[in-house]
Structure 1
């Protein structure tokens, strides 16, 4: 019992400090250090050696470079540099001037953030970085709070990726599903079936649309506080150049999709797109797409008359701006390694086998995976552990509940990751949107709990063999009912109708 308590202690310290001190980096550091001390039996030298070892392993392990981590970091540096180039050169401001004729209200701007998130669907981290950075200046122009922007960015990143087989999540999850020898259908068919019953992800996307349309949940920024309040000039068609921003973004999107498919096609002799995606090198494609779009941005700005000295200063500023997010991401990876070595996730999974009742299997699996993902800050880590274990439990208890249990694993993992203060997507959504991770987590939590409540009802109804139509009626009704109650009784939740919609 004492060993179990010690294993969970670093997680508890990290989560409590993250919510109490509002300093995610400090909380992560304490969690990493305490975990290292426990693993090394409180030997200082061994703890230091262990920390050095897991730090190096994030980049080089088992005689091989860890290209996924390296590519993500390079993509972050390039995206941070590119967005600062666009912001400091006035490209975003010019795009806003051009957009003024087409987006005249806060509602249209919020919907635009959601739609951009849908367009940049290829990866959760990628979406959080790209959409947050690009939309931050525009959100200020139209009075969208930074916490609201972070919510819209985060809610249309991982939840969307978990539903799409052609995102970076698809091949990873399908590889895990393919490892289940008792799976009654192909891995792709199973992924689609699981996605169609991922009540949390689907509800979250729906809630983000409601928030974007009605503006509920966030007080509008007072006009006097807007840093870039749009004026009412007599705009001429020549004012505002959208291409300085549009061309780099289109390059980023097209290159991401094209390079992903190309990297997979090089490994497969057939014309099967799903096989291309399964073999694609998402990290390298993301890195190369960011590099290409950054180079395009530099060329466009040079042609527009910006000096090389200013461009270099913009690049340096971009690196400085993204350094904090990189530091937190590195700590997130390290604490993930500590958690794995402590065996926390396996401990929680073993408790499930002992205490889950067959009549509560699906809903219970959702809650268990939510706790694991919240504690670890990793949906992918929870997938890796709980898809095989959850599948095995369902297969032994009731084979007919296999796919619903796998849906619950996916949904619970996304929910836990979505509201965890140590999740990389939570942190990146906040930093790319210009707000503190703590503020983002706190303001997103009510929406996440609404989605979780609706999903919990849906999974329990599935466990009771209720017809699909009535299950979805229960999910939608629960979500709308909880949203209405929060708007009615929770004072900070006000509609944006007090300003022009």
Structure 2
């Protein structure tokens, strides 16, 4: 495969620049993808267009793409059903009895995000659907809500040994011979204490919520807008919304029961744990909604399936962005972005600096490429032999690598988790990145210091 060296960084730079200028995720992603294929085609427009079509076909034929698109579409249908049944409003009314203050609503969102640890996709989609009504009433900006939701998504899944993340990452540790004679699951547990970024990213959230650490930058302005003007949406996010429904007026004379929200969500969580496939949980939950809602006369059969289709329609912009982000990963592969950065950064490193180098380089690469589990599959076989050859603690290096991947999932605006967290909180990816990035750099910097210190000590 032809390598393009520093030119492979151009699409990422284009995306970041235009995201900050336009605050539009689609335009930024499209221009980044276009610049990547133009580079691969050596400047020939027609060849670049054909390359884009080939990349799009490759992405659409991949079973992982189909899995994610079906998952997101089904979750859109499930949320629509729960909303139209009054279940979401019923759960929100229930939480009002517990979360009576603004700070309580923020901390409650954080706790709920930790509880939903089974899967990062489930976390991103479910938590915001459960709490956004109550956070709106307490004038919490949607940007802040998105930050809290995504801070308890990939990061919590990384440090919990019974999540989809742990299952995948422990398998990568075994393939890279980093288990030190333990079983993959036990080896992963040994690496969890060294996942400094994931721990710090989760634990810093309540410090912001309780104002122990004051907010700053764009997030501070977003919260001031929500508090002083009552505008929980930014202008960019509000413009992207088709409609902001008034739930209370809609269900004024209809009983809103919390169990119409809780039961389907518990079905999703339980079957995801049992079957290790969230799709099965989603299909089952939609079936449970059919069995529950029709006898209560909350909707007719026709209305039920209309809601299923309307939920799919609502998720369509999100699905387009997911496909485009996967096409970006494809063109990054053609540019040799991962190979270029990893070979340059890791092959000449000092043993004491290996953990911090792994964290910073793989973290920035994860952020730049939008590739996470794929990047882990590439990086573990490189990091494992390096750690062994240099005599560096395997669990420390594995913890640094998983932390780095979690960092990318936390802040990369075209990552699937950020896309889903933004969709569920009804803010744009670009707004999420603009407001959350300064806050995320605090745990990133602290984690880098810890990896440097332990690398020198161990």
TM-score range, shorter chain: 0.7 to 0.9
Summarize deviations over 1:160-207 as a string: whole Å, max 9, x none. Answer: 111223211122212211122465233323312221111100011111
Which ranges of structure 1 fall in alignment gaps of 5 or more residues? 232-237, 261-284, 467-501
CA distance in 1 between partners of 2:86 and 2:18 (Å)? 39
Summarize deviations over 1:6-46 as a string: whole Å, max 9, x none. Answer: 22222221222223221111121122222223223334444
- What corresponds to 2:190 in structure 1? 193
317, 329, 332: which one pairs with 2:325?
332
- What corresponds to 1:497 in structure 2? none
Tell which has more relative contact order, 1 or 2 (C-alpha 8 A, sep 6+).
2
1:57 aligns with 2:70: no
- What corresponds to 1:206 in structure 2? 203
CA distance in 2 between partners of 1:316 and 1:212 (Å)? 37
Sort the Cα spacing of 1:56 and 1:296 in 2 relative to 1 into closer, same or farther, 3 A. Answer: same
Summarize deviations over 1:50-106 as a string: whole Å, max 9, x none. Answer: 323322222435xxxx1x322221121111122122224432222222333233222
- What corresponds to 2:275 in structure 1? 259
Give the TM-score normalised by structure 2: 0.86
138, 142, 146: which one pairs with 1:150?
146
Measured after TM superposition, the shift of residue 214 of structure 1 is 4.8
- What corresponds to 1:488 in structure 2? none
Summarize deviations over 1:424-452 as a string: whole Å, max 9, x none. Answer: 21222112111121221122223211101
1:378 aligns with 2:371: yes
CA distance in 2 between partners of 1:177 and 1:99 (Å)? 41
311, 319, 326: which one pairs with 2:312?
319
Q: How does 1:92-491 map to 2 (within 5 A)?
A: 92-181=88-177, 183-186=179-182, 187-214=184-211, 217=215, 218=220, 219=223, 221-222=226-227, 225=230, 241-260=257-276, 285-308=277-300, 309-353=302-346, 355-397=348-390, 399-465=391-457
Given that residues 207 and 447 in structure 1 are in contact (C-alpha distance below 8 angstroms), is that contact kept between their aligned partners in structure 2?
A: no
Sort the Cα spacing of 1:2 and 1:36 in 2 relative to 1 into closer, same or farther, 3 A. Answer: closer
Measured after TM superposition, the shift of residue 120 of structure 1 is 2.2
CA distance in 1 between partners of 2:132 and 2:290 (Å)? 20
- What corresponds to 1:4 in structure 2? 5
CA distance in 2 between partners of 1:30 and 1:416 (Å)? 21
Measured after TM superposition, the shift of residue 243 of structure 1 is 1.3
- What corresponds to 2:236 in structure 1? none
69, 87, 91: which one pairs with 2:65?
69
Given that residues 370 and 417 in structure 1 are in contact (C-alpha distance below 8 angstroms), is that contact kept between their aligned partners in structure 2?
A: no
SS of structure 1 residue aligned to 2:159: coil
CA distance in 2 between partners of 1:303 and 1:406 (Å)? 51
CA distance in 2 between partners of 1:320 and 1:106 (Å)? 33
Aligned residues: 430
Given that residues 252 and 293 in structure 1 are in contact (C-alpha distance below 8 angstroms), is that contact kept between their aligned partners in structure 2?
A: yes
Which ranges of structure 2 fall in alignment gaps of 5 or more residues? 233-244, 249-253
Measured after TM superposition, the shift of residue 212 of structure 1 is 4.1
- What corresponds to 2:237 in structure 1? none
Given that residues 29 and 331 in structure 1 are in contact (C-alpha distance below 8 angstroms), is that contact kept between their aligned partners in structure 2?
A: yes
CA distance in 2 between partners of 1:138 and 1:13 (Å)? 37
Q: CA RMSD in A?
A: 2.8
Measured after TM superposition, the shift of residue 328 of structure 1 is 0.8
Measured after TM superposition, the shift of residue 229 of structure 1 is 11
Measured after TM superposition, the shift of residue 121 of structure 1 is 1.6
Measured after TM superposition, the shift of residue 129 of structure 1 is 1.4
- What corresponds to 1:18 in structure 2? 19
